[in-house]
Amino acid sequence: MKVTYHGHSVVTVNTGNHQLIFDPFITGNSLTDLKPEEVKADVILLTHGHNDHVGDTVEIAKRNHSLVVAPNELAVYLGWKGLNVHPMHIGGSHQFDFGKVKLTQAFHGSAYTEEDSQKIVYTGMPAGILLTVEGRTIFHAGDTGLFSDMKLIGELNHIDLAFLPIGDNFTMGPEDAKLAAEWLRAKQVVPVHYSTFPVIEQDPHAFADSLPGGVGKVLEVGESIEFK
Ligand code: NI
Ligand code: MN
């Protein structure tokens, strides 16, 4: 299994049998190495309805006939756009053919902004996603502030790899993300959601270096972690 970072909160997981992508915000993503028209995805996993996470979901899902897994209201909204969706919600897990997904809480908002008509569409609660594939558990925290039940998530799950936002302003900054890393007890922690926009500019290496030896890992855009 190969897990690759593509800037902002975009992460792909290639299992050999399935191509998965988290939060495919590509158009407008100043950091990414992906082109929306080239993305292959059997499954799109969405943490919440903000535009910098839903991103190019509709285009990618239509072209690939992807399954879109998302919190319920966001899934319903995308279902109305003609996508094949699987709604879930916080605390619920489901065994798919590609692996197991469980949604956790996230302290954030969730709404899709339709810029043209200046409408904000409510898309339910934001979530984090626990994905277990081939015996490994990946935690994509989505956008969130720090919350102490991360300790519980860490107790209940053996997280091999966690993607945590460090950008500050909209989510945890590096200091809170350091506590989150400790509480989640993840074997490896990769910072995300930073430096895409000036207001979330951060030094990911300073964050990674602040974690106990070997835990923090900065992935450059396009760089992967492989599990054998
Ligand atoms: Ni957000
Ligand atoms: Mn965001």
Determine, yes or no, domain membership for 224: no
The CATH number covering residue 207 comes to 3.60.15.10
How many structural domains are present in the chain?
A: 1
Cβ 137 vs Cβ 157: under 8 Å: yes
Q: Is residue 226 part of a domain?
A: no
Query: What's the pLDDT at 154?
Result: 98
Q: How far is the CA of 143 from the centre of ligand 2 (A)?
A: 6
What pLDDT, on a 0 to 100 scale, did the predictor assign at position 196?
Answer: 98
Report CA(169)–ligand 1 centroid distance (Å): 11
pLDDT computed for residue 59 by the predictor? 98
Q: Does the predicted TM-score (pTM) go above 0.85?
A: yes
Cα gap 170→15, rounded to integer Å: 31
**Residue 113 is assigned to a structural domain of this protein:** yes
| Residue ranges with strand state E in the chain | 2-5, 11-14, 19-22, 43-45, 67-71, 84-88, 93-95, 100-105, 111-114, 119-122, 127-133, 136-140, 161-165, 188-192, 224-226
Tell me which ligand sits closest to the C-alpha of residue 193: 2
Ligand number nearest CA of 165 is 2
Could you tell me if residue 27 is inside a domain?
Answer: yes
- Residue 113 token pair: 């902004």
Range of the domain at 135: 2-218
Which two tokens mark 70?
């998302």
Residue 228 CA to ligand 2 centre (angstroms) = 31
Count the helices and strands in the chain (H runs, E runs). 6, 15
Task: Kindly list the averaged pLDDT for each block of 10 residues, start to end, along the chain of length 228.
Answer: 98 96 98 98 98 98 98 98 98 98 98 96 98 98 98 98 98 98 98 98 98 96 96
